Chains A and B, each alone.
Chain A
Amino acid sequence: MSGVLLFFVGVITLAGIYAILAMILNLEAGWAGMWDLGLAGLVAVGGYVFIITTQQTHEDVILTPHWPMWAGILAGSVAGGLAALIIGVPSLRVRGEYFLITTLAFAEVIRQLSINLGSVTRGTVGFNQFSRPFESWATGAGYRWLLLALVWLVVVVVYLLMRRLGYSPYGRLLRGFRDNDPVARSLGKHTNRHRIQTFVLAGLLYGAVAPLYVWFIRTVTPSLFTSEVTFVTWTALVIGGIASLRGPVIGALILLLVTEAASLVQGSGEMAVVLASVRFIVLGIVLILVMRFRPEGLTNERDAFAGASGKG
């Protein structure tokens, strides 16, 4: 019984992590209209910079600064923002689906670099022994609850931040130039500069929250940052409702509960492959059905911002 309970603690923790990613994605894609398919790359940069700057146990890499954890998180965040700047400047020369593919390409380049730059990243082996925050407070099963609380605390903080941003003039400006760029420009708004700013802000946030993902998974390898992270985040966002406020959180919870439920069934050998594949099939079917019957998602932008321009 407690095994099943702990399993769900894990699923809800992961759902919280994806809720955070989906909220950040909502900022850049939902409101600013930049369809970013490269967020896994920014999370990877944050995660790797965090682990490289803070880890104490793997001494076989050329860079081991042994920074304290808070400095590592800060470094990961700055690196995520910097990566977003490097990716954003060329990618934002193109729009729509071209932007989408360019960001996807950049994420893959980052992943390939993490495989190939073995002297810094330990290649495909990666990092698997590192301390996590507050480990002295709880161990084993207790720590899972602690991580759950930590992740959902961040969910609340990011939610409040996004709410604030969404209702602010800045949020209105983003949605404005998403819908009509020439009008925003004719009103004297530097829309391209705001796009880059927003993309860099998203990069800073992805980098900052990447350690949560690392603490949950407990290893850092290139296979953690495939485009699957990107697509699961996107699916959560479109299920919940793109450009809404609560949508990303609702979508992440529903999606993760549905896809991870398949892992509850135990199997061995041949069955294990089948069960692992069922996750992908479920993910695919959910996405296809939502796009067909609820393309606007479960919640929508109009309700989220009803009265936003008036009373607030």
Chain B
Amino acid sequence: MIDDMQNIIFGLVTGSILAIASVGLSMIRQTEGFINIAHGQLLTLGAFLGYTFVSALDMNIFLAGLLSMLLVGIVGVVLAVIVFRPVARSGPLAQLFTSIGLAYLLFGVMRVIFGANVTFFPTSFGTRLDLGPVNVTVGEILIVVTAAAVVAALALFLSQTRLGTWIRATASNPELARLRGIPVNRVSHAVWFVASALAGLAGVMVGLIGNVHSELGWTQTLIILAAAVLGGLGSIYGVLASGLLLGLAMDLSALVIPTSYRTVVAFGVLILGLLLRPQGLFVSAGRREA
């Protein structure tokens, strides 16, 4: 019973990180029209940048996280303009494979710059706090709280600001949005910035609870894709919820089967979800096909 509670905590932490990583992927899918396989590599970039700031420059972890987030966001916008804009009219297959190419390019470049070794954040969040049935570290609480704050900020941004309204309009009907005079370039830049910055933040968090290494992007991409598809891609709240759900499923499964099956569980949930509700768990309308 105590183990159950403990695993729920772990699941919450994993799920929070997964949720903010997946929501960016789904935003790009909705406004740009393709699945960005390189999303996971941006997450790795965030982890490496955060690690470098903390270990080499001796920076405070919060400052390092914020800075990594901003930098990855800017990198995302630059990549969108240089790499993705020119193929925007070539169709989803060209865009998808451009993103796979970019993923390999980023992966290779990061291995040259940061090396192929596994490293750990030197940051320590102190000993585990004993909270009756469970114990948590301050870091884990901070991750969940930060993720919740980021989600709340994102929701406010999308619902209360003009740019946010434009983004939602573009997501639900890109052609109509263009016709109505919404500045599509600005919307596109904003989406790339927000999505990439969220990936960067998720990267720092993944690095904090685990380790930092160059393969991080590939392993995370698969789980992020699973969460995004399970949530139905279209609905931001659906994707958030399924990110949390997958995180909980992976860590709670550790109670019954070996932890090495975590990813198998994630994909099992995805496959089950597609079988039972092909339109996405939290979507009422049909899926929009590519």
Contacts and interface: CB of A to CB of B under 8 A. Distances in A.
Interface of A: 35, 90-91, 93-98, 100-102, 104-106, 108-109, 112-113, 115-116, 226-227, 231, 234-235, 238, 242, 273-274, 276-288, 291-292, 295
A109 B264 CA distance: 5
A105 B86 contact: no
Contacts of B101: 235, 283-288, 291
B107 interface: yes
B283 to A, nearest CB: 12
Given A281-B104, A283-B104, A90 B275 contact: yes
B218 interface: yes
A179 to B, nearest CB: 14
6 smallest CB-CB distances across A and B, nearest first, come from A287-B101, A284-B105, A280-B108, A284-B104, A281-B108, A277-B111
Given A96-B290, A97-B92, A291-B90, A105 B105 contact: no
A40 to B, nearest CB: 12
A273 B115 contact: yes
Given A97-B35, A112-B261, 6 more contacts: A102-B229, A102-B271, A274-B111, A277-B108, A280-B111, A291-B98
Interface of B: 34-35, 83, 86-87, 90-98, 100-109, 111-112, 115-116, 218, 222, 225-226, 229, 258, 260-261, 263-264, 267-268, 270-271, 274-275, 278, 287, 289-290
A81 B116 CA distance: 37
A284 B275 contact: no
Instruction: Determine chain A's interface SS by DSSP, over half rule.
Output: helix
Instruction: Determine chain B's interface SS by DSSP, over half rule.
Output: helix
A85 to B, nearest CB: 14
A99 to B, nearest CB: 10
A291 B274 contact: no
A26 to B, nearest CB: 14
A284 B102 contact: yes
A242 B94 CA distance: 11
Contact of A98 (B95, B107, B229): B229
